[in-house]
Amino acid sequence: MTELIVLYRMPNDPEHFEKYYREVHGPMTSKLPGLKGYKYGPARALDGGTSEFFWYWCGTFDSAQAALDAMASPEGQAGAADVPKYYHEDPLFMFFENFGTNREAASVALTPQTTTKGLPIPLKVNALDHIVVNVADVARTVDWYQKVLGMEVRVFDPGHGKPVRTSLVFGHQKINVRPLGADKVEWFTADHETPGSDDLCFLTSSTPEQVVVHLRACGVMIEKGPVTKQGARGALRSVYCRDPDGSLIEISSYEK
């Protein structure tokens, strides 16, 4: 037998979550094909303290494949579509296989999150390595990013007789600068390469006030800022300008 466990972290509205789950979503799960039994309720830590999770659902199936088939069924898809009505993100799905009469459990499948269709995601990226920007003039772009943003310029040979390429390195990332019109066979890129179509946000340890002074000293017009924006990890203080092709450049620092 296989147990499918669904875990929810703290919802934005705990009271609405619990009421909706007990009255609507919980009963919906009873319709899953192949479900042998199920239970749900508040998740509690073993020591009685605060748990990482707010709520759980546990259902029993003949096998992990039977559980996957249930989630892919019309009933499972209806349940997945219902999640945004009471919860703000994807829940965590886990499978446990029960062996023998002592119910010794071993995890046979674990994913950190699920798709909006309720099926496990087999892959999850965790960082951005590099991006490619298409530009009208490589030399002009490189000069601007080096002077204004302090990036390091690197030229490298991709080999096989292909033209040399230019990169702008900063932190642990880089930007590959691709000239508009470069052969797509020699330099594979997006379907619609257009200079000035990017909207990029860079982090700096400088204060917004220092950024403003620096941009003015470089003769760069400030489009907006300093203003507060929402970044990946919280509130940012941002100053906006444009690169030579017109792409929007956001120079930001996290509020302390």
And the tokens for 222? 């400030």
pLDDT digits (tens, 9 = 90+) for 125-184: 778 899 999 999 999 999 999 999 999 999 988 788 788 899 999 999 999 999 998 888
Query: What does the alpha-carbon distance between residue 132 and residue 60 come to, in Å, rounded to a whole number?
Result: 48
Burial of 123 (0-12, 13-18, 19+ CB in 10 A): exposed
Domain 2-110: assigned CATH number: 3.30.70.100
- Residue-level pLDDT at 183: 85
pLDDT higher for 18 or 97? 18
pLDDT at 186 over 90: no
State the catalytic residues: 250
What is the residue-averaged pLDDT of the chain? 86
Question: Residue 209 belongs to what H/E stretch?
Answer: helix 208-217
**Which residue from 181, 193, 173 is spatially nearest to 131, judged by alpha carbons?**
173
Cβ neighbours, 10 Å, residue 11: 18
d(CA 68, CA 165): 46
Q: Where are the domains of the chain?
A: 2-110, 130-254
CATH of 130-254 among 3.40.50.2300, 3.10.180.10, 3.40.50.261, 3.40.47.10: 3.10.180.10
Nearest Cα residue to 82 out of 107, 57, 49, 53: 57
- What was the pLDDT predicted at 108? 34
Cα–Cα distances (Å) from 147 to 109, 143, 218, in that order, read 50, 6, 8
CB 239 within 8 A of CB 215: yes
Q: Cα(8)–Cα(25) distance, rounded to whole angstroms?
A: 13
Query: Residues 101-137: pLDDT tens digits?
Result: 444 433 333 333 444 444 555 567 778 899 999 999 9
Please write the tens of the pLDDT for every residue from 64-99: 888 888 988 999 999 989 999 999 988 888 877 664
